[in-house]
Amino acid sequence: MGFSVLNVNVHRVHIPQWMWTILCQTQDIVLNYGCLMCDVHVFPQSQYDTPLLELIGIENEISLAIEKLTQWAAPRQVDRNILTVSDEVYVQPEPLGVVLIIGAWNYPWAVTLQPLVGAIAAGNAAVVKPSELSEYSSLLLRALLPRYLDKDLYPVVTGGVSETQELLRLRFDHIFYTGSSTVGKVVMEAAARHLTPVTLELGGKSPCYIDKNCDIRIACRRITWGKFVNCGQTCIAPDYILCEPCIQGRVEFYGADPKCSPDYGRIINQRHFSRIMSLMEGYTPVIGGQTDASQRYIAPTVLKDVPPHSRLMQEEIFGPLLPIVAVSDMDDAIRFVNEREKPLALYIFCSDKKATKKMIEETTSGGVTVNDVMMHYTLSSLPFGGVDGTTDIQIHAPLPGQSGMGCYHGKHTFDQLSHQRACLIRSLGMESVNLSRYPPQDRRRARR
């Protein structure tokens, strides 16, 4: 597999006109084809999921990049010290070169186009590799992108594992991967061979703690939306509930039969259907549990009193099963979270602000939303990503993060896909100031 794009030498002094054009054209793709994407049922998402959860976010990212690009790309003046007092010192963001973007299937547009917007804004070329599991979206992306963007600078490569592995053998300047932690390790290993930096947007189990001190009816409604939207196939869906046994019985989710609802999706494929079914084995659901293999339908399902060491609590569920694990109080919930992998997201439902802040301070996660779920994802001003394992956690020491490394959204994507070049410009004058640093040192000592 060869790409002319890999030979591109990307430089940016001023933001060229073509970059604005490309960003506007990316916006056109999203605006003009938003309806089409939903109509062709690119994968069994509900009809409102694609516009609500994917297209609006991508469009916002493009608008923001167009509005702020001059500011983001401008040299940033920094502090000087006594040795550099008369120099010009600044940080100049520069393009990295060619970025490889590998996407997952669950939000096939957001996980490819959002990094692409940042890659373009930062002045990079990019190879886009969408997931083979969301096959129709991949084909549509491959058909659409070259109609708007330079096909040599932004090629789309479709295919599965072997095509991705072939791509990974090539040398890129950055790899931006979204998908499972298992494949994340494969990507990082391949990147290490070329010392290529990576951004890994991975998954894992995002806990959701419900304190007895909160409006449980509202909490349940918000959690229900976040857990079962896109049929639970969302990286930051609340994976499981932690709450005191006394409120387990008060937790209620879902009412009417969602099977007939156009708002409720299906599982991506048979393999994932069987995987989720096997996670349910041995439990009697307190809510839901109905399935239909012919449609890959699994009802929103709640399982109570789930043992902490069960298989359901070991791997990311990524489906419409919501286990409830009993904890004795908030401290116990904090302990529970800290004994496990650093999660991508943490959710806390609690009316006591002081207690909420304590839980935030004593845990870590890629992001946290209090009294709702997933909302931190919607803000471009907040960095979105996992915990890269370098976070200095003072009180407890959870296991190193499997939720990813690096972050994106808004300016964070621009920064992630730029090199921050340190620039110092000095004149050839005032040489007497420098004499003290030149050898021979003994001559100077003798002079003293």
Instruction: Tell me which residues are annotated as active site.
Output: 201, 235
| 186 touching ligand NAD, by CB under 6 A | yes
| 344 touching ligand NAD, by CB under 6 A | yes
**How near is the Cβ of 147 to ligand NAD at its closest, in Å?**
22
For residue 250, which of 259, 241, 238 has the smallest C-alpha distance?
241
| 111 touching ligand NAD, by CB under 6 A | yes
Structure tokens at 229: 């939207």
How far does Cα 345 stand from its chain's mean position?
10
End-to-end CA distance of the chain: 67
Q: Which is nearer to ligand NAD, 69 or 102 (CB)?
A: 102
Stretch that binds ligand NAD, among 91-99, 156-164, 285-293, 368-376 (CB under 6 A): 156-164
For residue 262, cis peptide bond before it (omega within 30 degrees of 0): no
**How near is the Cβ of 107 to ligand NAD at its closest, in Å?**
6
Stretch that binds ligand NAD, among 25-33, 45-53, 112-120, 130-138 (CB under 6 A): 130-138
| 183 touching ligand NAD, by CB under 6 A | yes
| 321 touching ligand NAD, by CB under 6 A | no
Q: Give the C-alpha distances (Å, rounded to integers) separating 139 from 38, 66, 96, 143.
A: 14, 27, 28, 6
Tell which one of 4, 32, 47, 165 touches ligand NAD (CB under 6 A). 165
Euclidean distance between CA atoms 117 and 27, whole angstroms: 9
Amino acid letter, residue 6: L
| 102 touching ligand NAD, by CB under 6 A | yes
Angle between helices 56-73 and 110-121 (to 10 degrees): 20
**How near is the Cβ of 62 to ligand NAD at its closest, in Å?**
18
| 131 touching ligand NAD, by CB under 6 A | yes
**How near is the Cβ of 112 to ligand NAD at its closest, in Å?**
9
Tell which one of 34, 115, 118, 179 touches ligand NAD (CB under 6 A). 179
Q: Which is nearer to ligand NAD, 105 or 297 (CB)?
A: 105
| 180 touching ligand NAD, by CB under 6 A | yes
Type and span of the H or E element at 246: helix 245-248
DSSP 117-172: HHHHHTT-EEEEE--SSSHHHHHHHHHHHHHHS-TTTS-B----HHHHHHHHHS--
